[in-house]
Amino acid sequence: MKRILLLTTGGTIASQKSANGLVPAAAGEEMLQMLPELPCKVETRELLRLDSTNIQPEEWLQMAEHVYAALDSFDGVVISHGTDTMSYSAAALSYMLRNLDKPVIFTGSQLALTEQNSDGPGNLYDAFRVAAADKPGVYVVFAGKIIRGCRAVKVRTQGREAFFSVNAPLAGTVSDTQISWINPLPPPDKPRYLAADCFSRVMLIKLAPGIEPGMVEAAVILGYRGLVVEGYGAGNVTNIRRDIASALAKAIQGGLSVALTSQCLLEASDMSIYEPGLIMQSAGAIPARDMTTESLYVKLCWALGKSEDPAVVRDIMAQNIAGEME
């Protein structure tokens, strides 16, 4: 029987009611008591007890280090996590756990385990089943879906089907009777290693009519080393009045790494179509292609943690890691 480690980090799945609303409280053993007989042997460790809105890059590093240390002793790892920032954490571990040869599964719930008709028991049980299935890689398992860690985006605030696989087929599905794999990550051809470099400071800006170029200047003044810009449509930015394009070009020339993506959830950005995009392409903006904003943001943080040389950062950002780009 497979040996799986459950790392708990808090989130709704572990929450209980208090005078201040739901707060993470349940330990791993308490969570397991709410499940039917498991398909694997499970050991639990409490890593964090946080609402996921409070999980920061420091916690990504902590998760990655604990998972990596456990991989020699366990056949897979399940991480119970709040849904609000699960996409960011799953993307972060996708980058840090290189050549991953065992399953690392994120899951959580929209209702606490203690609430009536909670989706928590089903999601957690499915996560253990997938973790015991020998498919290597970082995945989000939620509402019967198996999603690559770099492709998961939360799309509902309350609905049970909270996550969507953006610009990629589902990795697989989980039903009561079977796991069906559709588009899993390929197995590694090199030994696994931990690339837990420090994360550098990156700002995320979503453009809207009326935003001033000073927003870009503020990022530089505040010491950010990278900037992810959600532009319009195919990835366009204002280039006449309130000239964001010129401000970004100047910042890039000064050493700021700028990645440009689209506010549209589906399909790829493309800077080569319209004049504003071509301006940014010529200035040296990093193309997002069809990456999710969450993965793009985390990857730029991670890349800048490895090097602040803009040329090196561009090379890292161009690599297709863990199925983040099709």
Specify whether 107 is catalytic.
no
pTM of the model: 0.95
Dist. CA 290–CA 274, nearest whole Å? 17
Dist. CA 84–CA 18, nearest whole Å? 20
**Residue 26's pLDDT is what?**
66
Q: Would you give the end-to-end CA distance of the chain in angstroms? A: 35
Contact 199, 302 (CB under 8 A): yes
**Residue 199's pLDDT is what?**
82
Helices (H), 186-243: 214-221
Dist. CA 297–CA 204, nearest whole Å? 7
Q: Which residues contact 260 (CB under 8 A, 6 or more apart)?
A: 229, 231, 235, 237, 269, 271, 277, 280, 285, 286, 287, 288
User: Structural domains in the chain?
Assistant: 3-194 (3.40.50.1170), 202-318 (3.40.50.40)
Burial 215-228 (b: 16+ CB within 10 A, else e): bbeebbeeebbbbb
Dist. CA 140–CA 245, nearest whole Å? 36
The tens place of each residue's pLDDT in the chain, 326 residues long, gives 999 999 999 999 987 776 667 677 666 788 888 888 898 999 999 999 999 999 999 999 999 999 999 999 999 999 999 999 999 999 999 999 999 999 999 999 999 988 889 999 999 999 999 999 999 999 999 999 999 999 999 999 999 999 999 999 999 999 998 999 999 999 999 999 999 887 889 999 999 999 999 999 999 999 999 999 999 999 999 999 999 999 999 999 999 999 999 999 999 999 999 999 999 999 999 999 999 999 999 999 999 999 989 999 999 999 998 888 77
- Distance of CA 313 to CAs 161, 226, 280, 287, Å? 35, 10, 17, 12
**Residue 35's pLDDT is what?**
87
**Residue 28's pLDDT is what?**
78
Q: Please pick, among 12, 107, 114, 261, the residue that the annotation labels catalytic.
A: 12
Write down how long the chain is. Answer: 326
Q: Which tokens belong to 48?
A: 């964090």
One-letter amino acid at 104 equals V
Largest CA distance in the chain: 64
